[in-house]
Structure 1
Amino acid sequence: MELKNEMATILKKRKSLNINDDFGIEKCWNEMTKFLTQNEDEAIDYLNECNEDDLYYISEIFEDISEKLQSERFIACLRNLDKKFPELDMTKDIDIAESYIEI
């Protein structure tokens, strides 16, 4: 529940920022990455419950999350979400995120 509340606050802020507010956007990305990498199971559960709009903004940091989690399960979750929301066109973002996993 805490993750959901924290992410709702951060996403609300992120959505309100101007596209040219590089510092504000980066700060939101760092905060989202921090919360989504604390517990992989919670992160995956949270992502599976996300709506399309929230997932769009979270997709901006897929590679950051992937780099920290180093998880095939995380990538599998993203692939399933890509099928669930094909209009978000996240395949390239997911491919990049997958490349951050060290073999």
Structure 2
Amino acid sequence: MAYLHKVETPYYFSGWKTWIIKIMIRGNNMLDTSLVKSLIIERSKLHMNDPKVYEYWGKLTELLSRNVEDTINYLNHCSEEEIYWLSEIFEDISAKVNCQKYIECLKKLDKKYSNLNLSMDIKVAEEWMEG
């Protein structure tokens, strides 16, 4: 694994290009939880019809699909609000990881945060895993 010791990006260099640089610099399969958290925060500030939402979904799906064990561990420690935002991409992650342990994790989260009504999202995630 190669890491860059110092990366300087101009203050105006932000958005999805920064995510790509961070992902490339990281260069391994470990989940960058701070990056995931910042993407969730940035996503939560967007209007639901903002086309940039798809960029956030793509980056979050990419990060959370790399290592299913890290993702499950991360999800188990997420806040209710974080799970709310991540539920938008449960099925996308499921299609990429194709793992029953991931589905079981989602079911536990549904019980933990029952007011989020995740059961429909989980059902779709199960279908995407099978398909």
TM-score (norm 1): 0.94
Cα distance in 2 between the residues matched to 1:11 and 1:90: 18
**Counterpart contact for 2:40–2:85, Cα < 8 Å:** yes
Tell which deviates more after alignment, 89-98 or 1-10. Answer: 1-10
Identity rate, percent: 37
Structure number with the higher helix fraction is 1
* Residue 45 (structure 2) aligns with: 16
Runs of 4+ that moved beyond 3 A: none
Structure 1 counterpart of 2:58: 30
Match status 1:54 vs 2:70 = no
The residue aligned with 1:71 is: 99
Query: Relative contact order: is structure 1 or structure 2 higher (C-alpha 8 Å, sep ≥ 6)?
Result: 1
Corresponding pairs, count: 102
Q: CA RMSD in A?
A: 1.3
- SS of equivalent residue, structure 2 residue 103: helix
Give 5+ residue unaligned stretches, structure 1: none
Structure 2 alignment gaps of length 5 or more = 1-29
